[in-house]
Structure 1
């Protein structure tokens, strides 16, 4: 999950979307989307070996690199 900080800058959206496109091309992104209240969004990673790997991927997200959003990675046990 990515939650916008008060300092959020719309200029980071294009690099973030490019980052997500790269993940999708690599077969690592299942779905993504913003929250309707515009406070942030979420994306679901797939084909990831570990929680540590998922956290490393999220750390490369331009949202995290610019400090405009707080990213949290959760392991999701689906049924």
Structure 2
């Protein structure tokens, strides 16, 4: 009985994480493309302490000219 309860608790806690995993990876790849490195750099997020590299890329401004991944997106506002 306790094992079934723990399985249900695990499923409830993991469901939101699994549901947001793909969108978070897609947004990270999009942000990396804004800074002009390859989206494959996103794999560093799964290595302990190397995810700080990805965090640093999120703090950088995007390239002001057209990059190798497409035109500059229009400004919001």
| TM-score of the aligned structures, taking structure 1 as reference length | 0.33
Larger Rg: 2
User: Which has the bigger relative contact order, CA under 8 A and spacing at least 6?
Assistant: 1
| TM-score of the aligned structures, taking structure 2 as reference length | 0.34
Q: Which has the higher strand share?
A: 1
